[in-house]
C-alpha cells in the first residue's frame, strides 16, 4: 500500500499532541472509562499497544503519528475487535473512522477473490476518504486490497476491477454497490464485516434505507455490523438495531454535549450585503492553516468562490453540481494542502476529515442544529483547537443560533474586537513543507504566495535593511535563507479587496536551527516605522484587530467587486449568450407546438356543425392526435441521442407544421383521412420534448437549468393562450380553415432561424466565445451518450413507477381541460365561439405565470435546507389536490364567472407540477433523464388518448359532473402514489 514516508515531509499530516499531557501513568486508564457517556478526555492512559493489535497495524499507527487513542477509540476498539455489533455516536473529529478501520483490519483474513468487509457511506468524497484511511493503516499488509466504488464513474471500469483484482475490503455508496451486487459482479456471500458510516444520513432517507436493506440481505446472516455517526437521534436508533444482534451501544457524548472540545465559536451580526466585505476582512486578519466556508446552495458556492479568486484569495470550490472527477480532484488538492480556502455546500459537512482545517466560516446559517454541528466539526478535529464563525443576517438565522445554544448547552458570543490567536491555533507557527527541489512556507494568513528560487538568491544576498519590492504576478514562493539569524524584511504588492489598488504588507524571514526558518507575517499598521520592523530581534505574534464592518456594495450574486478594466459597451445582440439563443428558439418551438395543437379545440365546433359529427366522433378526432404523439416519445429520445437535438427538433417542427396546413384538406376528403393527418401531426410533436431535453442538457449548465426549463415550458402555456385567443378571431373572419393555414405557416419562419442560429452542442457552434463555452462545460468535455439502457434496473425502482402512474393521473385531467374546455364553455356556460376562445385563454395564462412562481418557491425551499424529496412532494401535492378541489367546486357552481374562476384556479395550481413531477426525472436519474421522461410521458399520452376519447362517450350517456369526478378520483390516486413512493434522491447511477 505504499512505503514509509519521510517524517519531515509529512510532518504537517501528523496529529500534534504537544499541548496535551505527555507523561501519563498507565494505571489511570480505568478511571477514564467508568462512564460511557461523558465529555472529551484528551489523552487516555492506555496506548494502542494495549489493544493487542497486529504488529503491522501498530507500525502504521506509529508512522501516522498517533500515540494515544481518543475516548471513542478507547471505548469501541476492544469490543469491535472481538466481533461484537456496535452502535457508536461521538463528536466529529474524534476518530470514529479509525475504530472500524483498525478493528476490521485486525480481524480480516484475506482470501483471494472474496470480499470480507463492506463499508457504506452516503457521499463519494467520504467513500474516497475512508478508502484512503484503510490504505494508510494497511500499508504494511501488502496482500490486502482495498477498492472504492461510487457513481459518476463508468460502471464497466468497476466491473473490470472486480473481475481482475477482487478487493478484500470494499468501500462505496449504496447506489453503485447495489448495482454491482445485482449484476453479480460484486460477490457479497463472504462478507464478515458490514459497516455504515454516518448511518443516520443513510437510514433517514427512505430510498437509501431500501438500498442498504437490499444490500444487507445479500450478505451472510453471521457477520459483524457496526454503525457510526456524530448525530444519532433517539428515533433512528431502533432502526439501526434492526440490522444487528444484541449490539453494544456506545454514546461517548450525550445529545447536549455534542459541540467540540477545543472549538471556539463566535457569531457576527450583519446584513446580507455586508457579508462579502466582512469575509474578506476576516481572511485578511485571521491566521489559519486551512479554512472551510459553508454556503447554502450550489450557485452561491460558485459565485463566492469566483468572488474570492477575483479578490486574490485563491480558493477552491466543491459542490454537487460538479462532475465526480472534478470533485475528487479538488478534494485531493485541498486535503494535500495545495489550496488553503475551501468554499463548499453541506456536501462536505459530514465526515470529511482534513486535519489542517482550523477555521470554519458559516457564510450562510445552516438550517438546523445538526447541520451546524457537522459543519463546525470540520475544525477542531481529534480534540485539536479550532475557530467557528457564523454570519447572522436575519431573524431566522438568530432562531437557528438560539437552537444551537439551547441544544448543545453552549454560549456562543459575538466575535470580540480582539481575538487571541492562541485560542484557535497552536502556540507555534506551522513549519515549512520540505520538498526535494525547493523549500517553501505558507505565509501566515496570506495563502502561500511564491517567488522563484532566483529571486530568493537575490534576496538572500541582499544584506541591507532596504525592503526588496516584489511585483505580484500570480503566486509567490517564500525563500528559506540559510544564514543563521539573518533577518530580511521585504515588501510585496497585494491587490486590495475592493478598489484593487496596491498596498504593502511587510514581513521578514528568519532562519536558524531553533525555529527552522518560520515565517512571521506582519502588516504595516502594526509598525511605528518601517525601520523598526527591519531589525526586530525577536518576533511576537501581534494581536489581530478585527476590521470595522463596512457595507459591501454588491451581494454575492451581484456584480464583481471591481469595475475596472470593463470592456467598452457593445451592442446587446452581440453580447447575448449563445446558449440563451437556443433556449429562446426552443421556447418559440413549444409556443408553435401548442398553438398548432389547441387550434382544433376551437375549430372543432364549426367543423362538427359542417360535417354533422356527434360528441363521440369529436372525441375520436381529438384523441387521434395522441396516437402519433404516443408513438414517438421514447423513439424521439433515441433519435435525439443519435442524430442530435437540433436535427430532431427541426424535423419535428417542419413535420407538424406541414400536417397542420394539410388538416383542412384531409377533413374535406373524409373522416379517416382527417384521423390519419392528426396522428401524423402527433408524430411530429411527439419528438419535441425529448429533443428539447437533449439539446438543453448539452447547452445549459446546472446552475441555469431550472430557469431555462421554466421558460421553455412557459412557451407551451403561452402557445395555448395564443392559439385560443387568435383562433376565434381568424375563424369568425376567414372561416375555420384559416386557423390551420396561418399557424402552420409560422413553422417555416421558425425553421429558418433554427437552422441559422442553433447548434446541437457548444462544440458545433463556431461563433460561441471561449468564455461561454468554458462556463457551459465547466472545464469538462461533453459526456458520451448512454450506450445501453438498464431497463430492468430502471423498472425495478419504485420512484420510477411513481413517476409513470402520477404522470398518467396528472395528464388525464390536464388534457381533458385542454381539448374540451371550449366545448364546455359553449354548451354548458352558453358562451359564443369568440367568447369561449377568449375565456379559454385565462387558465393557460394562469399556468404560465404560476409555473414560474412555483419554480421560484421550490428553489427557495431547497436553498433554505428543505430536502429535495419534501419539496417535490409538496409541489406535486399542490399540483394534484388544487385541480381536484377546484374541479369539485366547478361541478357545483352555476355562475359562469365562478366557473371560469374555478377553471383558472384549477390550471394555476396544476402548474406547480412543473416543480414536482416534471423536475423529478433529473433528480432520481440524471443520466437516464431522457428515458425516464419518455416512459412517464408515454403514460401521460395514454391518459390523453383514453381520457379525451372517454370524455366523449361519458358526455353521450352522462354529464360534465361525471367527467370532473373521474378526473378528481385520478388526482387523488396520483397524490397518494406520489407521496408514498416518490423521492428527490438519486436512485439510478
Tens-digit pLDDT profile for residues 856-873: 788 778 767 677 788 889
More confident residue, 520 or 255: 255
Q: Are strands 433-434 and 439-440 parallel, antiparallel or unpaired?
A: antiparallel
Q: Is the pLDDT of residue 2 over 60?
A: no
End-to-end Cα, the chain, rounded Å:
29
Q: What element of type H or E holds 146?
A: strand 146-149
- CA atoms of 889 and 444, how far apart (whole Å): 69
pLDDT band at residue 846 using 50, 70 and 90 as cut-offs? confident
**CB-neighbour burial class of residue 662 (10 A; exposed 0-12, middle 13-18, buried 19+):** middle
More confident residue, 445 or 139: 139
pLDDT tens digits, 823-840: 777 777 766 655 655 566
What residues contact 36, with CB distance under 8 A and at least 6 apart?
75, 250, 251, 252
pLDDT of 974 reads 92
Interhelix angle for 71-80 vs 96-107, to 10°?
20
Q: Is the pLDDT of residue 82 over 70?
A: yes
Per-residue HEC secondary structure of 5-70 comes to CCCCCCHHHCCCCCCCCCCCCHHHHHHHCCCCCCCCCCCCCCCHHHHCCCHHHHHHHHHHCCCCCC
Phi-psi region of 151 (alpha: psi -120 to 50; beta: other; left: phi over 0): beta
pLDDT band at residue 151 using 50, 70 and 90 as cut-offs? confident
pLDDT band at residue 741 using 50, 70 and 90 as cut-offs? very high
User: What would the mean pLDDT of 909-927 be, rounded to a whole number?
Assistant: 79
Residue 161: count of CB within 10 angstroms of its CB = 16
pLDDT tens digits, 950-989: 887 888 777 778 888 888 999 999 999 999 999 887 787 6
pLDDT band at residue 3 using 50, 70 and 90 as cut-offs? very low
User: By three-state DSSP, how is residue 687 classified?
Assistant: coil
User: What would the mean pLDDT of 162-183 be, rounded to a whole number?
Assistant: 91
pLDDT of 706 reads 67
pLDDT of 117 reads 95
Residue 895: count of CB within 10 angstroms of its CB = 10
Q: Is the pLDDT of residue 426 over 70?
A: no
- CA atoms of 129 and 150, how far apart (whole Å): 12
Q: Which is nearest to 215 in space by CA: 198, 204, 203, 232?
A: 203
C-alpha distances in Å from residue 689, one per residue of 634, 679, 803, 898, 959: 10, 17, 16, 34, 34
Least confident span in 349-358, 611-620, 636-645, 665-674: 349-358
Joined together, the cell numbers standing for residue 131 give 478508502
Please state the φ and ψ torsions of residue 219, each to the nearest 5 degrees. -95, 160
Strand runs (DSSP E) across 357-441, as ranges?
357-362, 386-392, 413-414, 418-419, 433-434, 439-440
Q: Which is nearest to 358 in space by CA: 292, 311, 402?
A: 292
User: What would the mean pLDDT of 932-950 be, rounded to a whole number?
Assistant: 81
Q: 359: which DSSP letter?
A: E
- CA atoms of 773 and 778, how far apart (whole Å): 8
pLDDT of 89 reads 87
**CB-neighbour burial class of residue 518 (10 A; exposed 0-12, middle 13-18, buried 19+):** middle
pTM beyond 0.75: the answer is no
Please state the φ and ψ torsions of residue 506, each to the nearest 5 degrees. -100, 140
Give the Cα-Cα-Cα angle 417, 309, 856 (nearest 5 degrees): 90
- Pick the most confident of 31-35, 644-648, 695-699, 816-820: 644-648
What residues contact 377, with CB distance under 8 A and at least 6 apart?
91, 92, 93, 230, 260
pLDDT tens digits, 440-457: 333 333 333 333 333 333
pLDDT of 785 reads 56
In contact, 539 and 511? CB cutoff 8 Å: no
Q: Is the pLDDT of residue 122 over 70?
A: yes
Interhelix angle for 868-890 vs 960-981, to 10°?
170
- CA atoms of 905 and 915, how far apart (whole Å): 17
pLDDT of 491 reads 30
Where do the domains of the chain lie, and which CATH numbers do they carry? 11-257 (3.40.50.300), 263-420 (3.40.50.300), 433-542 (no CATH), 573-780 (1.20.1250.20), 793-989 (1.20.1250.20)
Q: What is the DSSP string of 903-939?
A: HHHHHHHHGGGGGTTTTHHHHH-GGGHHHHHHHHHHH
Joined together, the cell numbers standing for residue 635 give 423513439
Interhelix angle for 615-631 vs 671-686, to 10°?
40
User: What would the mean pLDDT of 541-568 be, rounded to a whole number?
Assistant: 33
In contact, 920 and 984? CB cutoff 8 Å: yes
pLDDT band at residue 48 using 50, 70 and 90 as cut-offs? confident
- CA atoms of 653 and 656, how far apart (whole Å): 5
More confident residue, 182 or 776: 182
Q: Is the pLDDT of residue 559 over 70?
A: no
pLDDT of 351 reads 53
Q: Are strands 315-318 and 341-344 parallel, antiparallel or unpaired?
A: parallel
Q: Which is nearest to 519 in space by CA: 683, 261, 287?
A: 287
CA-based R_g, the chain, Å: 33
pLDDT of 834 reads 58
pLDDT of 562 reads 33
More confident residue, 559 or 232: 232
pLDDT of 22 reads 34
Question: Which residue is listed with cell 480505568?
Answer: 30
User: What would the mean pLDDT of 750-779 be, rounded to a whole number?
Assistant: 80
Strand runs (DSSP E) across 151-280, as ranges?
169-172, 193-197, 224-229, 248-251, 263-269
- CA atoms of 769 and 570, how far apart (whole Å): 15
Q: Is the pLDDT of residue 428 over 80?
A: no
pLDDT of 818 reads 67
pLDDT tens digits, 712-736: 888 888 888 788 778 888 888 888 8
Q: Is the pLDDT of residue 882 over 60?
A: yes
pLDDT of 381 reads 58
More confident residue, 778 or 724: 724
Q: How many CA atoms lie within 13 A of 327 on its CB side?
A: 23
**CB-neighbour burial class of residue 455 (10 A; exposed 0-12, middle 13-18, buried 19+):** middle
Residue 911: count of CB within 10 angstroms of its CB = 27
User: What would the mean pLDDT of 131-155 be, rounded to a whole number?
Assistant: 89
In contact, 504 and 527? CB cutoff 8 Å: no
pLDDT of 835 reads 61
pLDDT tens digits, 183-197: 889 999 999 999 999
Which letter, b or e, does each residue of 391-409 get, where b requires 16 or more Cβ atoms within 10 Å of its Cβ? bbbeeebeebbeebbebbe
Largest CA distance in the chain: 107
Joined together, the cell numbers standing for residue 781 give 468535455
Q: Is the pLDDT of residue 4 over 80?
A: no
Please state the φ and ψ torsions of residue 229, each to the nearest 5 degrees. -165, 160
Strand order in the sheet with 248-251: 146-149, 169-172, 117-120, 193-197, 224-229, 86-89, 248-251
C-alpha distances in Å from residue 261, one per residue of 33, 183, 370, 389, 483: 18, 46, 16, 16, 41
In contact, 104 and 117? CB cutoff 8 Å: yes
Give the Cα-Cα-Cα angle 828, 832, 835 (nearest 5 degrees): 100
pLDDT of 780 reads 46
- CA atoms of 297 and 868, how far apart (whole Å): 12
pLDDT of 153 reads 80
- CA atoms of 859 and 378, how far apart (whole Å): 27
More confident residue, 693 or 513: 693
**CB-neighbour burial class of residue 651 (10 A; exposed 0-12, middle 13-18, buried 19+):** middle
Least confident span in 283-287, 596-600, 777-781: 777-781
pLDDT band at residue 513 using 50, 70 and 90 as cut-offs? very low
Please provide the average confidence, as pLDDT, over all residues in the chain: 73
Least confident span in 74-83, 92-101, 546-555, 936-945: 546-555
pLDDT band at residue 422 using 50, 70 and 90 as cut-offs? low
Least confident span in 175-179, 689-693, 816-820: 816-820
More confident residue, 794 or 383: 794
User: What would the mean pLDDT of 518-524 be, rounded to a whole number?
Assistant: 33
Per-residue HEC secondary structure of 833-866 comes to HHHHHHHCHHHHHHHHHHHHHHHHHHHHHHHCCC
pLDDT of 862 reads 72
pLDDT band at residue 353 using 50, 70 and 90 as cut-offs? low
Q: Is the pLDDT of residue 120 over 50?
A: yes
Q: Is the pLDDT of residue 527 over 70?
A: no
Residue 291: count of CB within 10 angstroms of its CB = 25
Amino acid at each position: 500500500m505504499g512505503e514509509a514516508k519521510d517524517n519531515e515531509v509529512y510532518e504537517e499530516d501528523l496529529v500534534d499532541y504537544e499541548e496535551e499531557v505527555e507523561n501519563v501513568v498507565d494505571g489511570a486508564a480505568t478511571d477514564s472509562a467508568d462512564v460511557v457517556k461523558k465529555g472529551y478526555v484528551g489523552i487516555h492512559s492506555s496506548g494502542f499497544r494495549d489493544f493487542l493489535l497486529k504488529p503491522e497495524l501498530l507500525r502504521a499507527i506509529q508512522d501516522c503519528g498517533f500515540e494515544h487513542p481518543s475516548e471513542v477509540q478507547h471505548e469501541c476498539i476492544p469490543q469491535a475487535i472481538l466481533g461484537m455489533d456496535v452502535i457508536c455516536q461521538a463528536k466529529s473529529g474524534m476518530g470514529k473512522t479509525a475504530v472500524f478501520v483498525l478493528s476490521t483490519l485486525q480481524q480480516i483474513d484475506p482470501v483471494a477473490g472474496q470480499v470480507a468487509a463492506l463499508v457504506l457511506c452516503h457521499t463519494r468524497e467520504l467513500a474516497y476518504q475512508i478508502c484512503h484511511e484503510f490504505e494508510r493503516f494497511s500499508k504494511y499488509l501488502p496482500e490486502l486490497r482495498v477498492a472504492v466504488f461510487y457513481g459518476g464513474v463508468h460502471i464497466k471500469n468497476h466491473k473490470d476491477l472486480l473481475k481482475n483484482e477482487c478487493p478484500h475490503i470494499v468501500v462505496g455508496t449504496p447506489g453503485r454497490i447495489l448495482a454491482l451486487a445485482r449484476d453479480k459482479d460484486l460477490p457479497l456471500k463472504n462478507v464478515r464485516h458490514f459497516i455504515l458510516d454516518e448511518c443516520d444520513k443513510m437510514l433517514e432517507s427512505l430510498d437509501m434505507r431500501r438500498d442498504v436493506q437490499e444490500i444487507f440481505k445479500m450478505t451472510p446472516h453471521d457477520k459483524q455490523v457496526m454503525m457510526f455517526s456524530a448525530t444519532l437521534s433517539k428515533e433512528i436508533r431502533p432502526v439501526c438495531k434492526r440490522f444487528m444482534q444484541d449490539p453494544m451501544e456506545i454514546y461517548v457524548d450525550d445529545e447536549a454535549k455534542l459541540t467540540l472540545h477545543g472549538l471556539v465559536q463566535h457569531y457576527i451580526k450583519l446584513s446580507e450585503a455586508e457579508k462579502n466585505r466582512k469575509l474578506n476582512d476576516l481572511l485578511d486578519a485571521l491566521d489559519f492553516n486551512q479554512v472551510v466556508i459553508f454556503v447554502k446552495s450550489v450557485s452561491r458556492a460558485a459565485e463566492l468562490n469566483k468572488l474570492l479568486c477575483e479578490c486574490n484569495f485563491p480558493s477552491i470550490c466543491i459542490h454537487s453540481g460538479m462532475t465526480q472527477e472534478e470533485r475528487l480532484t479538488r478534494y485531493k488538492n485541498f486535503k494535500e494542502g495545495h489550496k488553503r480556502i475551501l468554499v463548499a455546500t453541506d456536501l462536505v459537512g459530514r465526515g470529511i476529515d482534513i486535519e489542517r482545517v482550523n477555521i470554519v466560516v458559516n457564510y450562510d446559517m445552516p438550517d438546523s442544529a445538526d447541520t451546524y454541528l457537522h459543519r463546525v466539526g470540520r475544525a477542531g478535529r481529534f480534540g485539536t483547537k479550532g475557530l467557528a464563525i457564523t454570519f447572522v443576517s436575519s431573524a431566522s438565522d438568530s432562531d437557528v443560533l438560539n437552537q444551537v445554544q439551547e441544544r448543545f448547552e453552549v454560549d456562543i458570543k459575538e466575535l470580540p474586537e480582539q481575538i487571541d490567536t492562541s485560542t484557535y491555533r497552536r502556540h507555534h507557527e506551522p513549519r515549512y513543507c520540505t520538498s526535494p527541489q525547493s523549500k517553501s512556507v505558507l505565509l501566515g494568513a496570506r495563502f502561500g504566495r511564491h517567488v522563484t528560487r532566483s529571486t530568493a538568491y537575490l534576496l538572500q544576498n541582499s544584506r541591507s535593511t532596504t525592503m526588496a519590492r516584489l511585483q505580484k504576478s500570480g503566486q509567490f514562493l517564500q525563500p528559506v535563507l540559510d544564514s543563521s539569524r539573518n533577518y530580511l524584511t521585504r515588501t510585496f504588492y497585494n491587490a486590495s479587496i475592493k478598489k484593487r489598488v496596491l498596498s504593502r504588507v511587510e514581513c521578514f524571514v528568519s532562519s536558524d536551527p531553533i525555529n527552522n526558518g518560520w515565517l512571521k507575517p506582519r502588516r504595516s499598521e502594526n509598525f511605528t516605522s518601517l525601520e523598526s520592523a527591519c531589525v526586530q530581534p525577536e518576533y511576537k505574534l501581534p494581536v489581530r484587530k478585527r476590521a470595522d464592518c463596512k457595507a459591501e456594495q454588491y451581494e454575492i450574486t451581484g456584480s464583481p467587486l471591481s469595475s475596472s478594466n470593463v470592456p467598452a459597451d457593445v451592442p446587446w445582440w452581440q453580447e447575448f449568450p449563445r446558449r440563451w439563443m437556443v433556449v429562446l428558439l426552443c421556447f418559440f418551438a413549444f409556443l408553435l407546438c401548442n398553438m398548432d395543437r389547441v387550434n382544433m379545440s376551437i375549430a372543432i365546433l364549426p367543423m362538427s356543425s359542417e360535417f354533422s359529427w356527434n360528441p363521440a366522433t369529436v372525441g375520436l378526432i381529438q384523441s387521434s392526435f395522441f396516437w402519433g404523439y404516443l408513438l414517438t416519445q421514447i423513439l424521439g429520445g433515441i433519435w435525439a441521442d443519435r442524430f442530435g437535438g437540433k436535427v430532431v427538433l427541426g424535423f419535428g417542427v417542419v413535420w407538424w407544421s406541414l400536417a397542420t396546413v394539410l388538416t383542412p384538406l384531409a377533413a374535406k376528403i373524409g373522416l379517416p383521412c382527417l384521423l390519419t393527418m392528426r396522428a401524423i401531426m402527433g408524430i411530429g410533436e411527439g419528438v419535441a420534448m425529448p429533443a428539447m431535453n437533449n439539446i438543453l442538457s448539452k447547452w445549459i449548465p446546472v446552475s441555469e437549468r431550472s430557469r431555462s426549463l421554466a421558460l421553455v415550458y412557459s412557451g407551451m402555456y403561452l402557445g395555448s393562450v395564443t392559439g385560443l385567443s387568435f383562433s376565434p378571431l381568424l375563424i369568425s373572419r376567414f372561416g375555420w380553415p384559416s386557423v390551420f393555414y396561418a399557424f402552420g405557416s409560422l413553422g417555416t419562419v421558425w425553421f429558418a432561424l433554427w437552422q441559422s442560429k442553433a447548434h446541437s452542442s457548444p462544440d458545433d457552434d463556431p461563433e460561441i466565445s471561449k468564455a461561454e463555452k468554458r462556463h457551459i462545460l465547466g472545464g469538462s468535455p461533453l459526456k458520451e451518450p448512454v450506450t445501453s439502457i438498464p431497463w430492468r434496473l430502471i423498472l425495478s425502482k419504485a420512484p420510477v413507477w411513481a413517476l409513470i402512474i402520477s404522470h398518467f393521473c396528472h395528464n388525464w385531467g390536464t388534457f381533458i381541460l385542454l381539448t374540451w374546455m371550449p366545448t364546455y364553455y359553449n354548451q354548458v356556460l352558453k358562451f359564443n365561439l369568440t367568447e369561449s376562445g377568449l375565456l379559454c385563454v385565462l387558465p393557460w395564462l394562469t399556468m404560465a405565470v404560476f409555473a414560474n412562481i412555483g419554480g421560484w418557491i421550490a428553489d427557495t425551499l431547497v436553498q433554505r435546507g428543505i430536502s429535495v424529496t419534501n419539496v417535490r412532494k409538496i409541489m406535486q401535492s399542490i399540483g394534484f389536490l388544487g385541480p381536484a378541489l377546484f374541479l369539485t367546486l366547478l361541478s357545483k357552481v352555476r355562475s359562469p364567472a365562478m366557473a371560469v374562476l374555478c377553471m383558472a384556479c384549477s390550471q394555476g395550481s396544476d402548474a406547480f407540477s412543473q416543480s414536482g413531477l416534471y423536475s423529478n426525472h433529473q433528480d432520481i436519474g440524471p443520466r437516464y433523464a431522457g428515458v425516464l421522461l419518455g416512459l412517464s410521458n408515454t403514460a401521460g399520452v395514454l391518459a390523453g388518448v383514453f381520457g379525451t376519447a372517454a370524455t366523449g362517450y361519458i358526455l353521450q350517456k352522462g354529464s360534465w359532473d361525471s367527467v370532473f369526478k373521474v378526473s378528481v378520483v385520478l388526482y387523488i390516486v396520483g397524490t397518494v402514489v406520489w407521496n408514498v413512493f416518490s423521492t428527490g434522491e438519486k436512485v439510478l447511477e
